[in-house]
């Protein structure tokens, strides 16, 4: 079997067999196929796509089994994870995982780091002093069994073919291919040993998918692909035109997550946590829920109100080496060296707050990465003092910026102000949940 022949077959619109797809994935994992040939194949897929019935499930299976697939079958109960396609202020995994776990569904979660204008769950968690996201697979399984959850980073053993192929996609302008996006996400998530997956597919300025139509195509592909390989899946398409919540960064988003677990927090963060949590409880067959969305939501609201979800988050922090005292004392989180208020230069209604530009402002402040190797400042970020639809007068504080030095504050302020648009009249509210696919 020659890579040359497989590239030509896909280039000409042919359908590859499972064995041919496995050969290509083997070549990516072992180095047995040259980078230029793998890149040519990825470009062929970019233009020709993959057959959703005969190719894509086989491609995903090969990607999934390019490394270790965790076997959590010895842990009682169904295991369900959540994946977000990435947004600004998207800290939902932090309150969601302990909330769902305490309601009876196991949550094994392998997360990623932030890149570009979107944040990463690992960077947020590592802003908690001492918190380790690099645990052994054995410790990961132990905590999922004992606490009902564990949050770690991708190990070298999980979906190694994806790391190789994603790096080539990033270098060859083939990232925006729906089959390749779907298989990349699912090869990592399904390797966790989960029974079901809830997808949060972001839509809008601050999302990878800018339009609802594009997001629906990606969501439909991932839901159908999960089902084709025997996993339950539900996708919520959610708004990302504006940042989620008021905090954008790392430590500031941990603080906001803890506020949600305390029963407060911004309405949109709380609501999305509850909506995604209800889907996870239903998919996981949570005890006492009986397939009823209203009962699922009530169960989650009770766990927030009685403090059990907050307590479980503290237990998780302690188990992963972190300072669990942060759940009672937010001052133990990293503090910025410099703080600056950004004030409105005019009056009117805040009609736009471009999520992508706000995310880039956070990167300018030091909270994110322009390149994978860049360090992050866990104390950097921003707090939004005004939301879209608010009336603004000249001199009002729009946001509070956190950074290590004045130069970063200057860059962050300039970028943030470019995200702000004032106008006249009321702003029609945009729904948080735009669609649901199952």
Strand order in 420-423's β-sheet? 391-392, 348-353, 420-423
The Cα 10–Cα 165 span in angstroms is 17
Q: Tell me how far apart the alpha carbons of residues 269 and 255 are, in angstroms, rounded to a whole number.
A: 12
As to burial, measured by CB atoms within 10 angstroms (0-12 exposed, 13-18 middle, 19+ buried), residue 136 is exposed
Report whether 100 contacts 280 (CB < 8 A). yes
Give the pairing type, strands 420-423 and 348-353: antiparallel
CB 412 within 8 A of CB 401: yes
Non-local (6+) Cβ contacts of 290 within 8 A are none
54 — phi, psi (to 5°)? -95, -25
Alpha-carbon distance of 25 to 160, in angstroms, equals 10
CA–CA separation, 219 and 83 (whole Å): 11
Number of Cβ atoms within 10 Å of the Cβ of 374 = 12
Angle CA(224)–CA(228)–CA(230) in degrees, nearest 5?
115
CA distances (Å), origin 156, targets 136, 143, 159, 250, 369: 11, 20, 8, 25, 21
**Residue 423 burial (CB < 10 Å; 0-12/13-18/19+)?**
exposed
Q: Which residues of 139-151 are buried (b: 16+ CB within 10 A; e: fewer)?
A: ebbebbbebbbbb
Name which of 18, 89, 97 is nearest 56 in CA terms.
Answer: 18
Task: Measure the CA–CA gap between 347 and 395, rounded to whole angstroms.
Answer: 8
Output the six-digit token pair for 137: 């697979």
- Active site residue ranges: 83, 162, 169, 184, 188
Q: At what angle do helices 251-261 and 267-283 cross, to 10 degrees?
A: 70
Distance CA 396, CA 342 (A): 8
């Amino acid at each position: 079997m020659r890579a040359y022949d497989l590239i030509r077959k896909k280039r000409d619109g042919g359908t590859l067999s499972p064995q041919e797809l496995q050969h290509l994935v083997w070549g990516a994992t072992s180095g047995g196929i040259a980078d230029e040939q793998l890149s040519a194949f990825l470009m062929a897929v970019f233009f020709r796509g993959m057959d959703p019935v005969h190719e894509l499930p086989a491609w995903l299976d090969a990607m999934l089994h390019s490394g270790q697939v965790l076997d959590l079958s010895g842990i009682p109960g169904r295991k369900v994870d959540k994946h977000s396609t990435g947004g600004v202020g998207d800290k939902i995994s932090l309150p969601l995982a302990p909330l769902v776990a305490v309601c009876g569904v196991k949550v094994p979660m392998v997360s990623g780091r932030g890149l570009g204008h979107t944040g990463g769950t690992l960077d947020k968690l590592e802003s908690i002093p001492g918190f380790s996201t690099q645990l052994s697979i054995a410790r990961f399984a132990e905590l999922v069994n004992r606490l009902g959850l564990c949050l770690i980073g991708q190990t070298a053993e999980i979906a190694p073919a994806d790391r190789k192929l994603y790096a080539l996609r990033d270098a060859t302008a083939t990232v925006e291919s729906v089959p390749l996006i779907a298989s990349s996400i699912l090869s990592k998530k399904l390797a966790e040993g989960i029974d079901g997956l809830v997808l949060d597919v972001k839509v809008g300025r601050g999302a990878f998918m800018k339009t609802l139509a594009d997001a629906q195509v990606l969501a439909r592909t991932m839901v159908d692909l999960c089902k084709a390989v025997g996993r339950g899946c539900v996708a919520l398409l959610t708004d990302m035109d504006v940042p989620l919540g008021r905090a954008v960064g790392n430590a500031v988003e941990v603080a906001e997550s803890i506020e949600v677990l305390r029963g407060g927090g911004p309405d949109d963060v709380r609501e999305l946590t509850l909506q995604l949590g209800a889907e996870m409880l239903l998919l996981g067959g949570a005890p006492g829920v009986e397939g009823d969305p209203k009962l699922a939501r009530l169960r989650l609201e009770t766990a927030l109100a009685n403090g059990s979800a907050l307590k479980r988050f503290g237990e998780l922090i302690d188990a992963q080496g972190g300072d669990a005292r942060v759940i009672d004392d937010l001052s133990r989180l990293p503090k910025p060296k410099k703080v600056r208020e950004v004030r409105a230069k005019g009056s009117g209604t805040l009609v736009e707050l471009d999520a992508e530009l706000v995310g880039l402002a956070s990167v300018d402040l030091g909270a994110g990465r322009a390149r994978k190797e860049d360090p992050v400042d866990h104390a950097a970020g921003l707090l939004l003092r005004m939301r879209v639809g608010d009336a603004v007068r000249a001199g009002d504080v729009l946001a509070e910026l956190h950074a290590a030095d004045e130069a970063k504050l200057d860059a962050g302020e300039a970028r943030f102000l470019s995200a702000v648009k004032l106008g006249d009249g009321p702003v029609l509210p945009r729904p948080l949940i735009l669609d649901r696919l199952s």
